[in-house]
Amino acid sequence: MPKKYLFIATLALLTACWFSVGFHQGDEHFQLLEFAGYKLGFISAEQLPWEFEERMRPATQPAIAYAIHRLCGVWGEVNPYYFACLLRLISAVGFLFLATNVYKRFADRMPTERLLGWLALGLLFNWCSVYSGIRFSGENWAGMAFAFGLLLYPTAVPERTDTFTPAKTGGALACFGAGLLFGLAFLFRYQVAIMVLGFGAWLLFIARERWPRLGLVVLGGLVALALGTLLDRWFYGEWVIAPWHYLRSNLIEGKAATFGSAPWWDYFRMVFERGVPPLSLLYIAAPLWFAWRFRRDPLTWMMVPFLLVHFLLSRKDARFLFPLLPFLPVMIMAGAIALRRKYGKGLFNRKGVSGSVKLLGGINLAILLTVLFRPMISEVKVNKFVWDNYTEPVSLFADGRHVFTYADLTLHFYQRPGKVTIYRTEDRAEWPKCGTPVCLYSQFTRTPTPPKNARLVYTTRPEWADGLGLKDWLDGMKWWAIYELE
């Protein structure tokens, strides 16, 4: 991997980790940090989402967050915002390490220095990969663990024209380690089991792997599952089979469908729209072409079943596909190599082709810059003001939505334990008397209507923009505001 790319990528990831406060989707916070807060003792079981009562979520990642939080607590009070940033930094380190190893594995497949450079750029700077790669989420950590396991496994099979992944040597320890990583991937996100089964089928039917080596993979996976079961026992306080509870609740009882359903082809729409066309066309075409062209490749055998199952499930969400991102640049480069072979070595020097590549690169760069500096959710920036400025007990009044609100849930992890009391009612006449040294009121609106004698202490509305003639435009948008009450 070129050192200059690694240096720039490191700076970019540090920037993204700092500015990308919040989370992509609620599960990233409520099933991980809120769960960790429960074991740390400052969040009660009644404050957790319904999945806790169902005993259906794995405790592996909350246990990691718990251990890191305990370690940080040795040096005093743990700032939850810096702690969340630390978790993103750890994820970013994994992203960099994985990108470097994927590059090493597939570098020999690149016929020219230009394509080799494109592979490095794709692995390090594809905006989708960076967006997901810094997240302390089950999708990201499961994808990374599976990818590390796939890279570690010694796929020593004869190379064929219908495979792209290079062979790799290794012994018993590599087989066991790969199984351990596959098991961890499952514990981070259960759906990755489909990818593991797909790779296992490839080992059986294509690689014709020896049974002792397969046994070592299974043994490694069982060790990881045993560890996950012990962590679930520690977390829930009783022996549970969390994967079964997850399957029963979401599929048999159909609770997953209550969060929305969509036709099988809706993932194509999601990727097309959210991947930003025309760049998104590449994200769709490259994996489909790769799966057809390299039908006997392990990447195809792990990807196709994973996609088919997700197509069939009624619940659709683009983040469910994030575990596939580590190898997306590889599939794109496989397509580039095939085009070069078919249309000549000078294909990418042609004016039209070169211009198209630059256009796609420019679009990716523009989105990447947005990813590096954009917060995930505005509420985290706002409630950070409360943490930073009020160490004493605080009463927070609201007409409904308040600064610790996300959807219909409350962010407890970012509150000072035991020092924030929230009164949430549509009728201000029902507000009780404030019994803390500080009384606050928050609103998210275009037209603030604070209580009488309230003093504005914070707003996300940039007042400096008024001088640029943007007042009318700003007035048409909703902004957060926090007031101190007398």
| pLDDT cut 70: percent of the chain above it | 99
Please tell me the predicted confidence (pLDDT) of residue 159: 65
pLDDT digits (tens, 9 = 90+) for 29-83: 999 999 999 999 999 999 999 999 999 999 999 999 999 999 999 999 999 999 9
pLDDT digits (tens, 9 = 90+) for 417-467: 999 999 988 888 888 989 899 999 999 988 888 988 899 999 988 877 776
pLDDT at 141 over 90: yes
Euclidean distance between CA atoms 436 and 439, whole angstroms: 7
335-344 mean pLDDT = 94
Please tell me the predicted confidence (pLDDT) of residue 430: 87
Q: Which residue is associated with the tokens 């082709």? A: 353
What is the chain's mean pLDDT, rounded? 93
- The pTM assigned to this predicted structure is 0.95
Euclidean distance between CA atoms 404 and 458, whole angstroms: 15
151-167 mean pLDDT = 82
202-221 mean pLDDT = 95
